[in-house]
């Protein structure tokens, strides 16, 4: 029953994501956009180039965050695990500040390319220091 409720809530959120926005669309616009797409119709363009990609990105990002959280909880055997526990946030921030200082730029691509390796290195260092390389990593020492 719980899973059915969560599925219903997800479906409702998807419908709201497609229907809410600056431009109001009629229910017929959705059907027409999927069955007979007109590249010159503003409603079809709005749906197919803005709202549908936004929905797909939200579903992919939400799923990825859920899997990452589940992996972190399994790795640490801690149901309350979060990125701060393994130093992921601090590692990303440190690499970002160091790289921005040395390179003198901070556009979006640079931020992503600096933060990810810093986060991964910090998590790997904490895991190695915690005995993960010996195979005896545990939440209690």
Q: Are residues 37 and 73 in the same domain?
A: yes
Q: Are residues 32 and 39 in contact, defined by beta-carbon separation less than 8 angstroms?
A: no
Q: Are residues 56 and 92 in the same domain?
A: no
Q: Which domain holds residue 49?
A: 27-78
* Cα atoms found within 13 Å of the Cα of residue 109, Cβ hemisphere only: 1
pLDDT in tens, 40-51: 999 999 999 999
pLDDT in tens, 74-124: 877 888 888 887 788 999 999 999 999 998 888 888 888 999 999 999 988
| Residue where one domain finishes, among candidates 61, 78, 95 | 78
Task: Report how many domains make up the chain.
Answer: 2
Q: Are residues 71 and 113 in the same domain?
A: no
Q: Is residue 74 part of a domain?
A: yes
- Between 64-68, 95-99, 105-109, 131-135, the lowest mean confidence (pLDDT) is in 131-135
- Whole-angstrom Cα distance, residue 82 to residue 85? 6
Place of tokens 């309350």: 80
Q: Is residue 127 part of a domain?
A: yes
Question: What is the pLDDT, as a whole number, of residue 11?
Answer: 95
């Amino acid at each position: 029953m719980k899973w059915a409720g969560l599925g219903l809530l997800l479906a409702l959120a998807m419908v709201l994501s497609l229907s809410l926005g600056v431009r109001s669309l009629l229910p017929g616009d959705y059907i027409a956009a999927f069955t007979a797409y007109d590249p010159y119709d503003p409603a079809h363009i709005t749906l197919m180039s803005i709202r549908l990609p936004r929905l797909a990105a939200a579903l992919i990002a939400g799923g990825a965050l859920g899997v990452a959280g589940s992996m972190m909880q399994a790795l640490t055997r801690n149901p309350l695990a979060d990125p701060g526990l393994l130093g992921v946030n601090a590692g990303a921030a440190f690499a970002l500040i160091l790289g921005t200082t040395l390179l003198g730029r901070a556009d979006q691509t640079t931020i992503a390319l600096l933060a990810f390796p810093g986060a991964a290195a910090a998590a790997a260092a904490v895991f190695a220091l915690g005995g993960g390389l010996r195979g005896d990593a545990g939440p209690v020492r």
